[in-house]
Copies of this chain bind each other. A is one copy, B any other.
Amino acid sequence: MATKCEYCQMEGGYGDLIFETDHWMVFLAPSQRYLGTCVVALKSQRKNLSELEDSEWMDFVEIVRKLELTMDRSFKPTLYNWSCFKNATFRNQKPNPEIHWHFIPRYRNKIKFRGTLFEDPDFGYIPQPVEKRLPKNLMKSIMTVIKQNL
């Protein structure tokens, strides 16, 4: 993980591990501008999605189903954004691309979680790579709720 990922906003990592499968690791993203934002990272080092094997794709498909259902139960977002970009590492002349998906729940309405109000400042538009860090105890509560709903 050679550079600071554009949405994760974290140097050298994708966040706290929620769960893993044979081929992927699912992290709670350190930046929570959009409540419940996760990163789904491929364990194998590949550059492009076209290099993925069928088994890696089908494993990913199960994660898509599991994560969307989990977030439906946890925070009831309006919709989900998925993206596989890998742009940030190409700011280096010697990029080290890693396949990882940004899973970003989007919210039409405000949502209160553990006394904290969350709103989606960009609803209806592309997600912005702007860092929003939360207190550690709040991150822990988000992780707990997600794990309970897996």
Contacts and interface: CB of A to CB of B under 8 A. Distances in A.
A90 to B, nearest CB: 5
B125 A80 contact: no
A86 B79 contact: yes
A137 interface: no
A65 interface: yes
A84 B87 contact: no
Interface string A55-95: 00110010011011100000000111111111110110000
Nearest to A6: B126
Given A6-B125, A126-B126, A78 B90 contact: yes
B124 A91 contact: yes
A148 to B, nearest CB: 19
A145 to B, nearest CB: 19
